[in-house]
Amino acid sequence: MKLAVITDEIDTDLSHALGVMAEYGVLGAELRQIWDKNIADASNADWQKAKDLLDARGMTVVGIASPFYKCGLPGAEPDGPAGPLHSASARGLGDQIALLERCFEAAAFFETTLIRTFSFWKNGPLTPAQEETIVDAYAEPAAMAARAGITLGIENEYACCLGTGAQTARVLEEIGSPAVQAIWDPGNAFMAGELPYPDGYAAIKEFIVHVHVKDALVPVGSLVPEWAVVGGGAIDYSGHFAALKSVGYDGWLSLETHYSGHSAPKMSAKEASSRACLAGLQKLLVGA
């Protein structure tokens, strides 16, 4: 298993984020927001500037963290943003294929074959009809990805229709395309009310091509879950990593901090918290 970071979790200034990653020996970069733009909205000149910085440090782009299908379900209103877009332009359903084509360009430019995708903004409890709608919505993207040699990784996202491992696995089984797999996010599963390990992992393990790492817990006396330092929350990452190792997973573990409770002199809370999470993640990996 190899360690990566969604770079803007440290800093949207890519140069600074890569410098912090280098301090921890991290060689994988997942690109979501670079400087003040989402990767899908950044210019070709921004891409080239980013690539020059990555190449200078010998770092690899492990995936394009796109906002594809972060929009309303087909036929649902409103057809607009209902969750975090990380500086991406708000796009309706009719703009999603053009967005995906731009992300294909980014993947080719940065020499990666993985594009992160979603399952539409959550619109009440998940129903069989919604699952069928998501399956149908992936028919064209799956065909496009297969032709381009790209893997679309649906991330289970608690703000979207598919928040848990079990929900995502059911839909992936119905999509039935090698070009559409899972980006497994135990933290999002926890927020969606699923026990990430062993339950969520057991459901989705056959589809995992990439893993996001963030930790969470429910504080004593509270009913509301909160983000935590990796290794300091309620998610059994030791169990996760042991299970991944046992099946020969040799892909990336990509830190997606979200936690913001650390502080340090002369640095942002985002950076201080991501440094704490990187240290915690590396400590867990030593025993994996």
Tell me the per-residue pLDDT of 187-213, one tens digit each, with 9 for 90 and over: 999 999 999 999 999 999 999 999 999
pLDDT at 54: 98
Question: 2-286: what CATH class?
Answer: alpha beta
pLDDT at 80: 54
pLDDT at 77: 64
For the chain, the structural domain boundaries read 2-286
Confidence of residue 92 (pLDDT cuts 50, 70, 90): confident
pLDDT above 70 covers a percentage of the chain that reads 95
Task: Classify residue 243 by its DSSP letter.
Answer: H
pLDDT at 41: 94
pLDDT at 132: 97
What's phi and psi for 130, nearest 5 deg?
-65, -40
Residue (of 9, 172, 275) closest to 164 by Cα position: 172
Rounded to whole angstroms, what are the CA distances from 185 to 3, 204, 241?
15, 10, 13
Mean per-residue pLDDT over the chain, rounded: 94
pLDDT at 91: 77
- Angstrom distance (rounded) from CA 54 to CA 219: 39
pLDDT at 286: 86
Please compute the mean of the pLDDT values over residues 29-40 and round it to a whole number: 96
pLDDT > 80? residue 266: yes
Task: Look up the pTM and report it.
Answer: 0.95
- Angstrom distance (rounded) from CA 284 to CA 281: 5
pLDDT at 87: 60
Please compute the mean of the pLDDT values over residues 267-276 and round it to a whole number: 96
pLDDT at 78: 53
Task: Classify residue 71 by its DSSP letter.
Answer: S
Vertex 247, ends 244 and 253: CA angle to 5°? 30
Please compute the mean of the pLDDT values over residues 273-279 and round it to a whole number: 97
pLDDT at 76: 73
